Amino acid sequence: MEIQHISFANYQEEVAKSDHPVLLDFYADWCAPCRAFAGEIAAFAAKTDRVKVGKINVDESGDLAMTYGVMSIPTLVLVRDGQEVARRVGGGEVADIESFVAANL
């Protein structure tokens, strides 16, 4: 699935009301680990049809970062039916993301 850029403006439509589970990647442009992790997230999104993938820039959408209590980036949050079901802090490889999603769906 294509990566969606999530902000307060499209959060309800893309995440809260989504028919699919959503994997949110909280990141910042200045964050080196986030930049390194971006390719892994993109590769995961290209391979999966089980979840939507959304990226939330914490500098542009600090309100969403606060709502989810994100204190460190990168952070992945898995949302199903509008509710957080799992969280993972830190980067990793595509296999790590796949394992995280599979274990929590």
Selected catalytic residue, list 34, 41, 70, 101: 34
Selected catalytic residue, list 31, 53, 56, 65: 31
31 is catalytic: yes
34 is catalytic: yes
Please give the model's pTM, rounded to 2 decimal places.
0.95
Domains, the chain, in order of start with CATH, read: 3-104 (3.40.30.10)
Q: What is the pLDDT of residues 41-73, one digit of tens each?
A: 999 999 999 999 999 999 999 999 999 999 999
**Mean of all residue pLDDT scores within the chain:** 96
Alpha-carbon gap, residue 60 to 63, rounded angstroms = 9
pLDDT for 4? 95
Tokens of 81: 């039916």
Asked if residue 3 lies in contact with residue 45, where contact means CB atoms within 8 angstroms, the answer is yes
- Token pair 């989504």 is found at 18
